[in-house]
Structure formats: structure tokens, C-alpha cells
Structure 1
Amino acid sequence: MTAQPAISVRGVEKRFKDHAVLRGVDLDVAAGSIVALLGSNGAGKTTLVRILATLLPADAGTATVHGFDVARQPDEVRESISLTGQFAAVDGVLTGRENLVLVARLRHLPDPGAVADALLARFSLTEAGGRRAATYSGGMRRRLDIAMSLIGDPPVIFLDEPTTGLDPQARLEVWAAVRELAAAGTTVLLTTQYLDEAEQLADRIAVLHEGTIIRSGTLAELKRLLPPARVEYVEKQPTLEDVFLALVATPGKDPS
């Protein structure tokens, strides 16, 4: 990680008519880290991401992405980022490989086929690469979507609620893909309303509530805000998610 934040936000405000969505947001994201922006529906997470991705102007405040000012240098910001929204931007008519080749050509990269094949292998989609994307499961479509966002090696990626609507197994597939991004040095700003997702993935967590960041820090730092835990013996029962994942991992076999 470098000393200069990959994303820096100071006093960003946004209002839609009489409704203030962002009320002075301050946020830093270190290069090569995963930061989870945690908040309930309507907290302003997507609005902030759209501002950082130059899709929406802020009413006040400043923001930089990869050293470029979002308001004054939008072209440079767009060259430095990729944005994956809440719904996979995959063309179902095309095969997985054709989706990747198309984006590589749009980015004017040499040898789009080689780029596509490398990403299919990286995201364990090689065998499905020749199938139409419409036949993919939700997790496969999301992995393909993230693979498409990596074409051109953008240093900063925004993932806006990437596991919305996915089943537990598909969520784990996406989590693995996100961890791989950070391991390769990509900076990830992840918005989510799922507490377990932030806990599993993020180096740091920022809590966005009513338009402002009310707390931020590592998971350990945030846990220290509560009173010390009491040690009690509690018989832990498996969750429904535990049961589901055990059953689908060994179909037809008693998980006990």
C-alpha cells in the first residue's frame, strides 16, 4: 500500500430536491485495500459511488480517485476505475468469452482473445466460456461481470452491492473473486448492507448512516466500541446456511 489514499473524499454533499442524501462524507481508502461501505437501504451508498465514478456531480465537497480530481479530471478518473453495479452487466446472448472479447476490443487492447482466455481461467469459467451467458448461474454471471470489470487492469474498482439476490453458494464464489482482486493489488470499495459480507471481506469498514460516515475502522476497532464480551457456554446449532452449503457440497449424501 502507498501513503497516498487511492480514494479520498472530503465533505461531499448531495441533495435531490429537498432530500439531503449525503451530508458531508469524509472517507479514505488505502491503495490495495478492501473497504466496505456499510449501510441500510437509502443510506446514500450508491449515490457516493456514482459521484466517485463521475456519473453524478456532487453539490459540495471534493473527491479524488487514483490521484485525480473527480470534478476536474473526470476522463482520467474513468480511465483508472471500473464499476460493477447491483445487477450484472452481462449480455446473455453472447457467450462468456464473447462478452470478455467485446470489452477488450472496446478498450482497444491487443489480442482480445488472449485477454478473455486469461480471465476465464482466473475466474474458473474456462469450461463455461463457450456457453451463452444466459445459461450461467447467478454466481457465474457475477464472476463474469467482475472479470469484465478487470479488463485493462484498472487500479480501482467499485463494487456496488455485488451479492444482491445471490444464493449462499454464489455469494461465496463472489467473495473469493473479491479477495483475489485485493491480493493482486487492486483497490476495492465495496458497498453492502450485509454485515457478514463486510466482516468477511473488508480490511476497513465505514458505516454510512443518514448521509454521513458515523464510524470507520478495522473490524477489531469497531468491536471495541462495545462492552467486553462475557464468556458463556452456549450450544451452537448449525445455521440454515451451514446446512444448505453442506447439502449442496455433497448431493445425495447425508452431511452427518
Structure 2
Amino acid sequence: MKLQKLLGYTRKALDDYNMIDDGDKIAIGISGGKDSLTLLYALSHLRRFYPKKYDIEAITVRMGYKGMNFSPVRQLCRELGVNYTIVETEIAGILFSRRNETNPCSLCARMRKGAFNIKAKELGCNKEAYAHHYDDAVETMMMSLIYEGRFHCFSPVTYLDKSGITLIRPLIYVREADIKGFRNAYGLPVVKNLCPVDGYTKRQYIKELIKKLQSETPGLKERLFHAIQASNTDGWKKPD
């Protein structure tokens, strides 16, 4: 995927769901994965010509795994003209050494989000951008349906009452396959995830399930995404 196509998908999401207002300062969560680095690229380039003026801050919450080097990410941020902050934590040690969590994903997410929110507020940000994409939306809906017995998905825009920050997801129209292509085309400095449960989660199971169903029923993923937009799920109805 070329940069122009990425910017087109991202701008459509911003416009469809009124994600950005003049004067926003947006914190981008940078895990080091392909998704968050693609989001960084998109928002850093769009700010040059998007009609609503905004600023961005890149933030990485370092989990405490030894061997994860974010120096290439820092260099990319320097090239893009984006301030980059690393928040040091001991989340990995808490999860796997002190608590010996067998299902750590939910607690890990809460701890990471907490550290991210605190730093975003310190930097004066009023919004946060997560790199959830088209496939993430479909997978989240399927996880909710299968494991919770309800039709639900995260919202394109969410106001977080406790922190007073608005969360936006500008990549909801971007396919994961396109993000992989963008990563390869632009040589994104992806940092390998060293979490011991990476690739063995419920989400990974659902991802493989959807892939199998898609191969048997072409167009399935598109129909599932349309079902999310056409439903009464919070936040998915496009503003007038």
C-alpha cells in the first residue's frame, strides 16, 4: 500500500466520525508493531494539510522485557518531526514473576492503558489514537459474539470519563493486509513483541477462524464489517 492510499483511508475515517477538532493534541500509542507505526506515519503526514490543525505526541509504554530496542522508532519519530516519549514500567515482571498470570492479557491491557493515559495527560494531550484497524473491528465483534454472547465492538470514537480524554481509532478502514504491505514498502522499524503469550491468545484463535471462514465464503469479512456499521453498536452510526 502506498502512502497516498493510507492517507485516503485515514482521512475518510477522521471525516466520517469527526475524530479531530482544531487545536487537538493527540497521543499516539506506539507499541513498536506495524499497526502503531503505520498510524504514526498517517497522522504525521496528514497534519501537514488536514483542514483541522492538530499536534501529535508519540508514546511507548515499555513493558520491561529485556532486548526490546526502540532506538529505530525514536529515529523515525525524529525524521517525521514527532516528539517521542518512552514510559518505563515493570508490567512484565508484575504479570509473569510476581503474579504468575496464566491469562495476563486483560490485566496487561489495563496497566498499559493506565500508564499511557497518565503520560498523555502530562504532555497536555486531550485525545489518544489507537491503531485498531478494519480486521481488528471484525475480530473484536466475533470475540464478543462467541465469548460474551452479545453483538459488540469498540467505537471509532470513545470519551473516557475517568481521564477526560477522547480515544480515536483512525485506521478502522485500513485492512491488515494493506498495513503489512505498507510496512514492507516503507521499511517500518518494527520492534519484535517479546511477550511469551503473543500468538496464543483468544484473538489469535478468532483471527484464524475468520481466515478459514473467509476462504470458504469469500466476502465474509466485508459483510461482517458492514454488519457492525449497520447495527446499533455504540458510536458506529456516522454523524450527519
Q: Same fold (TM over 0.5)?
A: no
Q: What TM-score does the superposition give when structure 2 sets the normalisation length?
A: 0.35
Structure with the bigger percentage of strand: 1
Find the structure with the greater CA-based Rg.
1
| TM-score under structure 1 length normalisation | 0.33
